[in-house]
Amino acid sequence: MNISKKFMKTIITSSILFSSLSYAQPATDNTIKKLNSYFEQCHLAEQCNGSFIVAEKGKILYHQALGFANHEDDQQLSITDQFDIGSISKQFTAIAVIILEEQGKLDLDIDIRQYLPELPYQGMTIRHLLTHTSGAPDVMAYLTGLYRAGKVKAAITNDTVIAALAKEKIPVLALPGHEWKYSNTGYVLLASIVAKVSKQPFSEFLEDHIFTPLSMNDSVIRSSAKAGELNNRIYGFLTNIDGSRKAYDQIPFFDLTGLGGIYSTTGDLYKWDIALQQSKLISNENWVQATTPVTLINGKSHPYGFGLDLDPIISGRERIGHGGHWRGFKAQYAHLPKNEQTIILLTNSGLDDSVDESIDAISAILAGEQHQVAKANIGRTLYPIFINQGAASAKKFYLDAKNKTPDNYEFSEQELNNLGYFLKKVGKKKEALVAFELNHEAFPESINAIDSLVETLLELDQKHEAISQLKLAMKKFKDSKVLKGWFTKLDI
C-alpha cells in the first residue's frame, strides 16, 4: 500500500469510527470489538506503533502488537518484544527499597547520608527520594554537558552521579519536604542505596527479588556491557514527514539505573501489575503507604506515592500508575482500581503520543462511554497530498479537516512548520509556501510561523510580499529580535 492510499484509508476509517461511537454499556464481546477497532484506527492514523494490553478483573481483553520493530526494515513487532519502559522503572526501584525496609535493612526516615556519606546534602531521607520531595538537584544537565564536551570516556553510571554531586555540590531544587519536584537524580540515589545495603548490583537485586519470583523472564536492566542479554530487544525511531524512519535509540555510555533503564514486555508488566494488586512482594500495609499521596510540610498533598503517579486520568477516574518517555520509547502503565482495570501501552516511536491520550480513550471504551479516536498527524497526512495532488488539493483538504473533522487530526504548529521545511528539502518550494501560509494563518501569534513564511517568500523572489508580512507582524511584535533582524537584513 503506498503512502497516499494509506492516508486516505486512515481518513475514511477515522470518520466512520468517530461517527459510530456508542454511549450504552457494552457487553464484553462488544467491548473487545471496540478495543480492536480503536487500536486498528490508531495504527492507521500512524500512532499506536507498539505493544498493548488491556485487562479487567483479571481477564485480558486485548493483547496485540502493531507496527515496526526498528527504523531499518519492515520487521513487525510482537507481544514478546522488549521495550525500554522509561520511568515506569521507578516503581520497581521503590518496591526494591520497601523490600529492604521490610527485611529490616534500612529505614525510610533516616538521613540518606547514613548510606551515602559522601553527599553534601542535609535532611534528605529515603522517603523524600521516593516521593520526589527531597529537592535533589538535577544532575542530568551537568552530565549532558560533559558528554557534549567530549569529556565522557567511559559509561555514565550511578557512581558518576554520586561523584558529581559530591564534587560539584550542585544546589538543591528545594528544601526536603517543602516542595514536590520530580527528580531523576533521587531515583539514581535510591538504586545506589539498594545496591549498597543489599551488597549486590541493583540489577541483580531486581532479578533475585522481583523478576525471578514473578517469572518476568523478559525483563532486565539494560547496560552497554550487557545489551546482548536482550534477546527480543526492539529499537526506537522517529518518523519523517514522508513516512520514512530514522534511528532514535539509546545514548552511548548512558548506564544509569533506578530512574529508568528497564526493558520489559507488556506480558511481564501485567504480571507485575497483578503482583502489586495482590501484595505479592510487599505487605498490604506498605502497598497502602506506597499509593497514598505525599503530604508536604505545609500540609498540602501531591498525587504521587512511592514511584507511583496517583493523578487521575483526564476523565477524572482514579489511577495508580506511571508514564515513561525516553528517546524513541514512550510508555504508560495505568491501573484503575475502582473497576480493576489495567492498561499497559508501550511504543518505540518517538513521535507517538498516543500512549498518553489512549489511556483516557480506552477507559471510556471499558465504561461504555463516548471516546475520541486517535488523532492523525496533520503534517504527515498532508505531505502525500501535496506531492501527489498539488498544493490546491492539500489546502482544500486542510481547511475541510479543520472545519468538518477537527477532532480527527492533531493540528500542530510544529508539524506544519516541519511539513513546510520537508517540502523545501525535496524541492517543492511553492508547495512549502502554502504550508507556511496555512501555519501563519492558524497561529498568527507565532514568531516562528511568520519567520518561516518570510524566509520562503524571499526564496521565491516575492520580496514585496515578504516586506508586507513583516510590517504587519511588527505592529504586533515590536520587540521581536527575529523580525528586527529581517528589517536590518532587508534594509527596510
Torsional sign, CA 47, 52, 54, 59? positive
Do 286 and 424 belong together in one domain? no
Q: What is the mean pLDDT of residues 157-175?
A: 94
Looking up residue 383, the CATH number of its domain turns out to be 1.25.40.10
Looking up residue 135, the CATH number of its domain turns out to be 3.40.710.10
Q: Three cell numbers at 18?
A: 468517530
Last residue of a domain, one of 309, 341, 366: 366
Nearest CA to 399 out of 383, 411, 415, 387 is that of 411
pLDDT in tens, 228-265: 678 899 999 999 999 999 999 998 788 999 999 999 99
Do 417 and 483 belong together in one domain? yes
Last residue of a domain, one of 366, 390, 405: 366
Do 170 and 98 belong together in one domain? yes
Do 321 and 440 belong together in one domain? no
Q: Is the pLDDT of residue 23 over 80?
A: no
Last residue of a domain, one of 336, 366, 396: 366
296 inside domain: yes
Do 413 and 346 belong together in one domain? no
4 inside domain: no
Do 349 and 405 belong together in one domain? no
Per DSSP, 75 falls in state P
Distance between CA 65 and CA 82 in Å, rounded? Answer: 11
Do 303 and 235 belong together in one domain? yes
Q: What is the mean pLDDT of residues 16-33?
A: 55
Nearest CA to 84 out of 187, 293, 194, 237 is that of 237
Do 275 and 386 belong together in one domain? no
Q: Strands 409-410 and 376-377: what pairing?
A: parallel
Nearest CA to 355 out of 366, 345, 364 is that of 345
Per-residue pLDDT, 227: 62
Do 314 and 458 belong together in one domain? no
Helix/strand/coil (H/E/C) assignment for every residue in 254-266: ECCCCCCCEEECH
Which residues form the domain of 455? 379-490
Do 360 and 431 belong together in one domain? no
167 inside domain: yes
Q: Is the pLDDT of residue 143 over 70?
A: yes
Look-up of cell digits 492558524 = 442
Q: Is the pLDDT of residue 311 over 50?
A: yes
Q: Domain tally for the chain? A: 2
Q: What is the mean pLDDT of residues 300-314?
A: 96
